[in-house]
Chains A and B, each alone.
Chain A
């Protein structure tokens, strides 16, 4: 179609897009090539930030691998639990509606506030969890033991975001055609085999979508860590975004934080593309 004034109509949207997406990305790239901090201007220093990042900052890479571990673990758990719950209320059970709503409640709460509550829960000397465990002579250091703190972050993340997975997967299950299930029972598939050979493969496209969406979200994990442990003890729960936040907004090394952000963005785009491809290959045959 050849319409003279099409750009006029495109412009408002394009303007917003440039303003909030394209400009910031370009600016971050420019920023990452400068030593900008609160007292220097936007002075050009070439690739110095990147050289520092790749040769002299193990903390960033540690936080990155920690993030990968946390996001993959939480998403896998969310997927498994979410699928189980969705499968449970998909069937005709008693109080079906009640359970459907119940499982969604964590998603309706404010993550930061819930994390504060979780922190209180897991408080080593004042929290109810250790109060109960104390009866059995246990008092795990939920928030101050380097390994256990990661576990605590995982618990909170899984609790908070499983409902989202549940919702997507339940919608998926409800949209499946009923006929193949009738056929499968007749064809001699027991309920377990029916799940393996029919339900799961039919759910593959939806599963891939849900996992990718959650992976993108989970790799931005910041608020939970910030409130729960502030990256501690030491740096044992520090994730990339939290480290970038510290460098940029606590230490005001804007240029360096920008170079980390940009590197992080590139890695995320590449790895998510690869993950999506791999998942598609694994779960969908054609």
Chain B
């Protein structure tokens, strides 16, 4: 009774294609597709929705061949990153549209529409024209329109990306509540995003997608703690995890004349050469640390991102306060080596502080 896709392929352009994607989405669960732009997130969602026909592969839902069912009979709902509504209808009519297509009686439509208006916090706006609403409100209308159908499959294609920072935080929080309270056990929610924080916060099952291929599937926590390979580590962290070419020599990790005592969890690595991975947040300023040169300092919100170099090594660190640095300033940093990751030379996870490893 699940939504099952097998070996889905679709070629739009050379860069944008799905390559043999398979999935198994269970009812009552929230799935997050995490991937960068051009990774095929939208293409995959559109294929599930029926707006695109895959070149090969199958989709089955409730035991039926989904590809043979036309879009308008699939009982799905979709929210796009652009705020898509019907410009010729007012808020009420917009939300009522899918119900009208089903031919429900007006009394019932009225009830459902007001329920879903309440859910997205737009009570009192039902007579407004779409153009009179702000971006966030427009997106709420399209969310309400997708919720009102009580569809069995709800697709959200980067619904928060075109909103400003504040609103994004707020809506993300609301989404979580809506997903928990507003949906029946029967629904499958698929949410796509480029933002790893969003994926972690929604805390569902995460599918990491890159260049049209599934790299890793797992709970948000699992993806965060044990990224399967370098690509996943880069995609699931913002800023991307620092990766440094290093070697192990007499119980020391060495790179660019830096020597770090090897932490316990990395001691079992056999290869001499490996990729040393450490998150930006696990690099701290320390007067007794190693000297790096500031290449760029950016202040984002209440934290400062420092891009540092030392020889061929480039790393990013995030500091939880606003600090003023000049380019070419010298800073001293230390690595929290107990939080470090090791990836072997082919890029697969060799050891993580959370016990994951492929060796």
Task: Name which of B49, B88, B102 has the most chain A CB atoms within 10 A of its CB.
Answer: B88
Whether A185 contacts B86 in the complex (CB less than 8 A), given A179-B80, A193-B101, A197-B97, comes out as: no
CB of B75 closer than 8 Å to a CB of A: yes
CB of A198 closer than 8 Å to a CB of B: yes
Chain A contacts for B82, CB-based, 8 A: 179
Please classify how large the interface on chain A is, using the bins under 10, 10 to 19, 20 to 34, 35 or more: 20 to 34
Minimum distance in angstroms from B312 CB to a CB of chain A? 47
The distance in angstroms between the C-alpha atoms of A73 and B145, with both chains bound, is: 41
CB of A204 closer than 8 Å to a CB of B: yes
Chain A: CB-nearest residue to B75: A188
Q: Contact: B101 with A180, CB < 8 Å?
A: no
Q: Contact: A180 with B86, CB < 8 Å?
A: yes
Within 8 A of B (CB), among A159-198: 177, 179-180, 182-190, 193-194, 197-198
CB of B109 closer than 8 Å to a CB of A: no
Q: Contact: B51 with A183, CB < 8 Å?
A: no
Chain A: CB-nearest residue to B49: A186
Q: Contact: A186 with B85, CB < 8 Å?
A: no
Q: Contact: B88 with A183, CB < 8 Å?
A: no
CB of A134 closer than 8 Å to a CB of B: no
Chain A contacts for B75, CB-based, 8 A: 188
Q: Contact: B86 with A186, CB < 8 Å?
A: no
Chain B: CB-nearest residue to A187: B98
Task: Name which of B80, B89, B97 has the most chain A CB atoms within 10 A of its CB.
Answer: B97
Q: Contact: A183 with B72, CB < 8 Å?
A: no
CB of A201 closer than 8 Å to a CB of B: yes
Q: Contact: B88 with A204, CB < 8 Å?
A: yes
Q: Contact: B88 with A186, CB < 8 Å?
A: no
CB of A202 closer than 8 Å to a CB of B: yes
Q: Contact: B97 with A182, CB < 8 Å?
A: no
The distance in angstroms between the C-alpha atoms of A187 and B51, with both chains bound, is: 12
Q: Contact: B85 with A183, CB < 8 Å?
A: yes
> Which of B80, B88, B98 makes the CB contact (< 8 A) with A202?
B88
Q: Contact: B73 with A188, CB < 8 Å?
A: yes
The distance in angstroms between the C-alpha atoms of A286 and B80, with both chains bound, is: 27
Q: Contact: B87 with A186, CB < 8 Å?
A: no
The distance in angstroms between the C-alpha atoms of A230 and B75, with both chains bound, is: 61
Q: Contact: B101 with A186, CB < 8 Å?
A: no
Chain B 46-63 interface mask (CB, 8 Å, partner A; 1/0)? 000111000000000000
Minimum distance in angstroms from A2 CB to a CB of chain B? 37
The distance in angstroms between the C-alpha atoms of A115 and B234, with both chains bound, is: 72
Minimum distance in angstroms from B178 CB to a CB of chain A? 18
Q: Contact: A188 with B102, CB < 8 Å?
A: yes
Q: Contact: A185 with B51, CB < 8 Å?
A: yes
The distance in angstroms between the C-alpha atoms of A189 and B101, with both chains bound, is: 6
> Which of B72, B89, B149 makes the CB contact (< 8 A) with A185?
B72
Whether A183 contacts B76 in the complex (CB less than 8 A), given A188-B98, A188-B102, A197-B97, comes out as: no
Task: Name which of B70, B77, B82, B84 has the most chain A CB atoms within 10 A of its CB.
Answer: B84
CB of B78 closer than 8 Å to a CB of A: yes
Q: Contact: B80 with A182, CB < 8 Å?
A: yes
Chain A contacts for B84, CB-based, 8 A: 179-180, 182-183
The distance in angstroms between the C-alpha atoms of A185 and B82, with both chains bound, is: 16
Minimum distance in angstroms from A181 CB to a CB of chain B? 10
The distance in angstroms between the C-alpha atoms of A185 and B145, with both chains bound, is: 13
The distance in angstroms between the C-alpha atoms of A204 and B86, with both chains bound, is: 14
The distance in angstroms between the C-alpha atoms of A179 and B72, with both chains bound, is: 15
Minimum distance in angstroms from B212 CB to a CB of chain A? 21
Q: Contact: B85 with A188, CB < 8 Å?
A: no
Minimum distance in angstroms from A111 CB to a CB of chain B? 36
Minimum distance in angstroms from B99 CB to a CB of chain A? 9
The distance in angstroms between the C-alpha atoms of A202 and B85, with both chains bound, is: 12
Within 8 A of A (CB), among B120-142: 129, 142
Binding site for B on A (CB under 8 A): 177, 179-180, 182-190, 193-194, 197-198, 201-202, 204, 286
6 extra interface residue pairs, beta carbon distance < 8 Å, beyond A179-B82, A183-B84, A286-B129: A177-B87, A182-B51, A185-B51, A187-B145, A189-B101, A190-B72
Give 18 pairs: A residue, B residue, CB < 8 Å, sorted on A.
A179-B80, A180-B84, A180-B85, A180-B87, A184-B97, A186-B49, A186-B72, A187-B97, A188-B72, A188-B73, A188-B98, A188-B101, A188-B102, A189-B97, A189-B101, A197-B97, A204-B88, A286-B129
CB-based closest 10 A-B pairs: A187-B98, A179-B84, A188-B101, A185-B71, A201-B88, A186-B78, A183-B84, A188-B72, A190-B72, A189-B101
